[in-house]
A and B are shown apart, each in its own frame.
Chain A
Amino acid sequence: MTTTKQPTPTRTPPVLRRRRHGPLAELGLGIYHFFHKKKVGLLLILALTIMALIGVLFPQVSPELIADEGSYQSWLDDQRMTYGGWTAVLSFVRAFSMFSSPAFAIVTTLLALSIIACTVHRLPLLWQQATHPRLHAAERLFDRSRLRATLEVPLPPDEAAQHASKLLTGMRFRVLDDPKGPGTNLFADRNRFAPFGTVAAHLAFVLILLGVLFSGSMGFREGQFTVAAGSTRDIGHSTGLNVEVLSFADTYHADGRPKDYVSDVVLREDGQEVARQEVRVNTPLRHNGVKINQSYFGVAADMSVAAADGGVLYDDGLPLEWTNEDETLSYASFRLEEPDLLVYVVAPASGQVNEAIGPGQVRVEVYPGDEDVPSATEIITQGQPAVIEDLTFTFEREQKYTGLMVSRDPGATWVWVGSILLLLGTYLTMGLRHHRVWVRVTPHGPHSIVRLGCPDRIDLAFEPRFRRLADDLTRPPRPTNKEG
């Protein structure tokens, strides 16, 4: 917010001789010059902010739902009650799917490019400031710096310079001699490597993005991995792993608030048990990069189907994880291979009462092949076998299923390393400011005039230290005892 231009140490303006490059190199340089401008970076941050805000203000749908045209249209129809005629416009501009929109990906990519260009552009300057700073200051630096002092020190110039050097070293400044005149000159700075924190923080952003991209392309995530208690299910994704859920329990406090959700899980790899754990919301099971989290639960139906000759065609817990549109019924399906039948099992949803399907009952609908019309529909009671299409269906019992999230996130390590780098960089940049002080000592009779100048931006935390330095300078150092 400062508008006053502070003096800078003398430096000869570099003579820029633009070398001639080929058209491609010129284009590349042009792009680079565009991206390393801080204003471009700022505008991209603001663009990303606005997009994220849109994502907060409007309900977001998953990419999977958008991919399913029918489901998405149905979802949009629901939104018309809120957004009316604007629904189609909002859908067109991807307001409902902002974070998977091409515009969001483009702005994020441009920001990453801007960060890389800015960092590359800034690194040589930071390195030069840290290792080869400008030692010499023009007189106007001592005349115009915001923090400055002109002091009469009761010491000859050499001793006054030594005194200043000692005080600055005591303040943990690096002190360098400037051989140029007039008088004796010193340059001192502190936290010279702190500005590299910006490099760390900016690269962290890129690293986190790479981590997310890596996870997206090399990992997997099964958000609705349902397993009925007592059942086993393969994880797939070439892991060779399967999950057996021995039990699931949900417990509640006296006031009805949930207390705990716990799945007793056995993890097997190629048939061998490799882990067993009670998976809770805050205690996932981790094995070889695969993570299993407790996510949700519901009602399952233990079903068995036997052929006319007594052969068992199906015997498993079936998580009733889907609901109809008005959410009064829960259902799930399984397919029999021989005969080719698709079997739906329907029950009242949790907390719902259905006149046709009573407690302890399910409705079984049998669809031959890919037909849309069931060949048979029957309500069966728990423990009472029923013959449908020459097959014996038994609803053994009702029980619970657990909804797990199974994922492999190979980019997560990059994300965490990026996060640490981001924190480190932020702390370095903001917690440790780079302070620079120029000192000029000239003779004044038997004494010296010491001028101090600090052209950096205002820093209220540094001002008292600068003031103390000036005060200490006017006091001659205590004589040291040299005995023996």
Chain B
Amino acid sequence: MLDVSNLLHNAALLLVALALIGNVAAVATRARLHRAEVPAESRVAVGAGGPDTAFDEAHEPDAPAPHGLGWYSDRLLELSFVVLTISLVLRSIVTGHAPFANQFEFSTAFAWAVVGCFVYFEWRYKIRGLALLVLPITVALLFYASNLESDVSPLIPALQNSLLLTLHVFTAVIGNGAAAVSFAAAVLFLLHRHIPWKIPPSEEVLEEIGYRAVVLAFPMLTLMIVLGALWADTAWGRYWSWDPKETAALVTWLIYGAYLHARVIAGWRGNRAAWLLILGFVAVLFTFLGNHWFGGLHSYA
């Protein structure tokens, strides 16, 4: 069963890579078409004679043409999510615990969450451009996991708390996945005014997507830290030890906290807030990869 799980892991990597190529082609095609179009006046006459619906110009969804390249890319990505889910479920059946106990499992779960969050945001807001940044992250995570030890080992005593292992790491995984989407939105926001063709969405919508992703990421990171503190209190006798990994998670949380405050401060909106989102995701990656150089209480994870 473990072999099947590993096989599905590699299949998911291939599917995400294909979805990425499809999305690149779909976005490039759309950009080319968009450049060829003459911008049309989108305003609707205001007055008693007809409707003035400003919300129609607020967000133009980037919906794929039925059975076009974008449509197939979306289906490939959804399939990769299903395949990855099955891979993780099979591994959980073999190990007897949630697939969050070592760097291989966490990397795979992280990639799963990135795909899951992106599929949700793509379905909800139809922002195809995000795929160009989110999917390379997923490919990198799955490739990184492929190069890690994937053998099943028994849990060490500190990790033998099935409920908190599942909840604490699951919230981290979801928070990290949503952070990847906010990162992609922030990068696109910063690039938006520098690219020669203006394809949807607008900067305002990208800003909102970034915020929406943080609306998912920030509470999850908060819950992850609180659950981690609860677990640390049970297993290590204190809820906070300034352990490098837990402090790195706090740094990440503080950066997103700073972003939420920056959004409502004149002079900090726009570019600066976007940079904070990018910094936030760098902190996520730093915390995630920190095992390679952190010591401390989290050195096994």
Contacts and interface: CB of A to CB of B under 8 A. Distances in A.
B205 A46 contact: no
A149 B160 contact: no
Contacts of A221: 237-238
A282 B161 contact: yes
A310 interface: no
Given A1-B203, A2-B269, A38-B264, A56 B208 contact: no
29 contacts: A1-B189, A1-B271, A38-B265, A39-B267, A46-B258, A52-B251, A53-B251, A145-B54, A146-B54, A147-B55, A149-B51, A149-B52, A151-B51, A152-B50, A223-B237, A282-B235, A284-B237, A291-B237, A293-B235, A295-B237, A405-B236, A419-B226, A419-B229, A422-B226, A430-B215, A463-B58, A467-B55, A470-B55, A474-B51
Contacts of B251: 49, 52-53, 56
Q: Interface size class for chain A?
A: 35 or more
A289 B161 CA distance: 22
A361 interface: no
B154 interface: yes
Given A52-B254, A282-B235, A257 B53 contact: no
Interface residues of B, number: 74
A59 B239 CA distance: 20
B223 interface: yes
Contacts of B47: 150
Given A55-B242, A253-B154, A419-B229, A48 B51 contact: no
A55 B254 contact: no
Given A60-B242, A405-B236, A460 B156 contact: no
Most buried by A among B205, B209, B215, B268: B215
B113 interface: no
Interface string B267-279: 1111101100000
A81 interface: no
B55 A415 contact: no
Contacts of B203: 1
A45 B257 contact: yes
A427 B235 CA distance: 28
Nearest to A451: B52
Interface of B: 46-56, 58-59, 124-125, 153-154, 156-158, 160-161, 189, 203-210, 212, 214-215, 218-219, 222-223, 226, 229-230, 233-240, 242, 244, 247-248, 250-251, 254-255, 257-258, 261-265, 267-271, 273-274, 290, 294-295
B111 to A, nearest CB: 24
A289 to B, nearest CB: 13
A407 interface: yes
Contact of B254 (A45, A260, A463): A45
Contact of B265 (A39, A457, A470, A474): A39
A150 B52 contact: yes
A466 interface: yes
A285 B206 CA distance: 51
Among B125, B238, B268, residue most surrounded by chain A Cβ atoms (within 10 Å): B238
A483 interface: no
Contacts of A466: 55
B154 A259 contact: yes
A427 B219 contact: yes
Contacts of B230: 416
9 interchain residue pairs of minimum CB distance? A293-B237, A1-B207, A405-B237, A281-B157, A150-B52, A49-B254, A1-B270, A419-B226, A148-B54
A459 interface: yes
A152 B58 CA distance: 21
- Most A CB within 10 A of own CB, among B154, B254, B264: B254
Interface of A: 1-4, 38-39, 41-42, 45-46, 48-49, 52-53, 55-56, 59-60, 99, 143, 145-152, 212, 221, 223, 253, 255, 257-261, 280-284, 291, 293-295, 405, 407, 409, 412, 415-416, 419, 422-423, 426-427, 430-431, 444, 449, 457-461, 463, 466-467, 470, 474
A3 B193 CA distance: 14
Contacts of B48: 150, 152, 444, 449
B240 to A, nearest CB: 8
Given A1-B269, A148-B52, A52 B247 contact: yes
Nearest to B164: A282
Contact of B261 (A45, A145, A150, A259): A45
Given A1-B263, A148-B54, A56 B244 contact: yes
Contact of B219 (A3, A45, A260, A426): A426
Contacts of A291: 237
A431 B158 contact: no
A463 B250 contact: no
A445 to B, nearest CB: 9
Contacts of B219: 423, 426-427, 430-431
Contacts of A294: 157
Given A46-B258, A99-B242, A149 B205 contact: no
Nearest to B210: A1
A405 B156 CA distance: 19
Given A1-B204, A2-B269, A52-B250, A412 B242 contact: no
A412 B229 CA distance: 11
A460 B235 contact: no
A3 B266 CA distance: 9
A38 B54 contact: no
